[in-house]
Amino acid sequence: MTATAPAAARATHPSAELAAFAAGLRFEQIPPAVLRRTEDLLLDCLASILAGARTRPVQAIERYAVAMGPQSGPSEMLTARRGTSPVFAAMVNAAAAHVVEQDDVHNGSVFHPAAVVFPPVLALAQALGRSGKDLLTAAVAGYEVGIRIGEFLGRSHYKVFHTTGTAGTVAAAAAAGRLLGLDANVMLHAFGSAGTQAAGLWEFLRDAADSKQLHTAKAASSGLAAAWLAREGFTGAQRILEGPQGMAAGMSSDADPARLTDRLGERWALVETSFKYHASCRHTHPAADALQEAMRANGLRADDIERVVAHVHQGAIDVLGPVTDPRTVHQSKFSMGTVLALIARGGRAGLAEFDAALQDPAVAEFRDRVEMRLDADVDAAYPTRWIGKVTVHTRDGRELHARVDEPKGDPGNTLSRPEIEDKALSLGTYAGAATADEVRGLIQTVWGLERAERVSALLPSA
């Protein structure tokens, strides 16, 4: 034991290391591929916000923000197209980002980073006139911190707590704190104030209540508040994550502190994040991708197909099996037949396609020619890999096979920029929250973000 050991120990506990990483992250340090992916994720998030803007829970939160916040301000509520203070813009945009369930997900941490990271960063960048590079750097800090905290809190946490709400609060603080330029010590105080506000319980699922939107709204706004307060000299716990009365002590039984600092600056967890490509239950995605591949490889049209067998894992049968005659749009997203019918007939299964599908007799007719069958190989690989496998029987008597080893949107099979633009156009115009021209403008803004000296309003005001 040397005389310097205690000081070294203080400087290197996991909360402090993670805070120091977030505070110290520099734009130049982030590989270009990570920056490009950050732009992809940002566009995906903005489009998700627009798609959710006019839903009932988001409108309720927006009315709350209008009642409690200032009547104008530098930060943009993308829903109402009006300015407000950073905290309310972050709150409303975060609520909207998660509602149509098309926003990104990090599989290993079961955490939706975009919804809680981009809204506070955008709101502060607009309020403080920061650059596009600042925005991107802060967002990367938020992803790297949030994903590692989600992994740290583990499966026991996720059983009762909505990780996007809990880890998301600290992720939002890290992102906001980086944008505010907090140093490592002040960032650690921000972590403390964020972690002690971290909340979000799954109990609402039982009643299909609106809490999921409240969780992202609160994570984004409470994280922003924690960073702002830290800048004002407000102090927080030094070991809020792993301390004996910290987040893991209270809300996890299998927390692994080593995950908090896993290869900081070397492993870029952000690029492990998946995009959601189809607007349906994730269990339908592998087969949808395999059918698309079978049709592409063999030059098939929908009318060429007699029937489809989707070879699936047991979980898909458990969740999707009961849905044989979907009666609502939401239910149809859990119907393998409907999803494959949309893919076969139009090549896409987005929000608008599902809205139209319910009344379309051609979709119903195709749906009834789709069958799910348990596949031992697919089942054995799950959940590490989500393999898609279909057999297509054509009207001219052929039996064709296709297999996709990673569903579209996962890191190994990520979306191309044209596909991301396409999804953004679809989401952005879905509920009339923006016109196609406005979304095209948004796309150009995001692709040019690195060169923007100041982040200003993304959309024309209302």
Of 188 and 434, nearer to its own copies (C-beta) is: 188
Least distance CB 91 / its own copies (angstroms): 9
Residue 64 interacts with its own copies (CB under 8 A): yes or no: yes
Kindly tell me which of 152 and 366 has the beta carbon lying closer to its own copies: 152
Contact with its own copies (CB under 8 A): which of 33, 205, 258, 374? 205
Pick one of 119, 192, 286, 407: the residue that binds its own copies (CB under 8 A).
Answer: 192
Give the torsion sign (CA, 349, 353, 359, 360): negative
196 binds its own copies (CB under 8 A): yes
Tokens read off for 275: 């995009």
What whole-number distance in Å separates Cα of residue 142 and Cα of residue 118? 8
By the rule CB under 8 A, 168 interacts with its own copies: no
The answer to whether 77 touches 127, Cβ cutoff 8 Å, is no
Count Cα atoms within 13 angstroms, Cβ side, for 197. Answer: 27
Tell me the number of residues near its own copies by CB under 8 A.
62
Report the C-alpha gap between 388 and 404 in whole angstroms: 5
Beta bridge partners of 305: 394
Is residue 63 involved in binding its own copies (CB under 8 A)?
Answer: yes
Q: Which is nearer to its own copies, 160 or 362 (CB)?
A: 160
Q: Which of 25, 43, 237, 287 binds its own copies (CB under 8 A)?
A: 237
Nearer to its own copies, 49 or 214 (CB): 214
| Nearest distance, CB of residue 75 and its own copies, angstroms | 10
Q: How would you label 345-364 residue by residue, b for 16+ Cβ within 10 Å and e otherwise?
A: beebbbbebbeebeebeebb
Among the residue ranges 52-60, 357-365, 392-400, 454-462, the one whose residues contact its own copies (CB under 8 A): 52-60
Binding test (CB under 8 A) with its own copies, winner from 94, 105, 125, 198: 198
Phi-psi label, residue 235: left if phi above 0, alpha if psi -120 to 50, beta otherwise:
beta
Contact 417, 409 (CB under 8 A): no
For residue 230, the minimal CB distance to its own copies (Å) is 9
Helix axes 132-160, 163-180, angle to 10 degrees: 160
Q: Shortest distance, CB of residue 358 to its own copies, whole angstroms?
A: 24
CA distance 217 to 61: 8
Is residue 185 involved in binding its own copies (CB under 8 A)?
Answer: no
Question: Where does this chain touch its own copies (CB under 8 A) — which range of 192-200, 361-369, 419-427, 440-448?
Answer: 192-200
Instruction: For Cα atoms 438, 408, 32, give the angle at the middle one, nearest 5 degrees.
Output: 65
Helical spans, DSSP H, in 161-256: 163-180, 184-195, 211-231, 247-251
Q: Is 235 in the site for its own copies (CB under 8 A)?
A: yes
Tell me how far apart the alpha carbons of residues 357 and 369 are, in angstroms, rounded to a whole number. 16
Determine the interface stretch with its own copies among 110-118, 241-249, 336-344, 433-441 (rule: CB under 8 A).
Answer: 241-249
Residues near its own copies, by CB under 8 A: 56-57, 60-61, 63-64, 67-71, 85-88, 159-161, 165, 189, 192-193, 195-207, 209-211, 214-215, 218, 222, 225, 228-229, 232-240, 243-247, 249-251
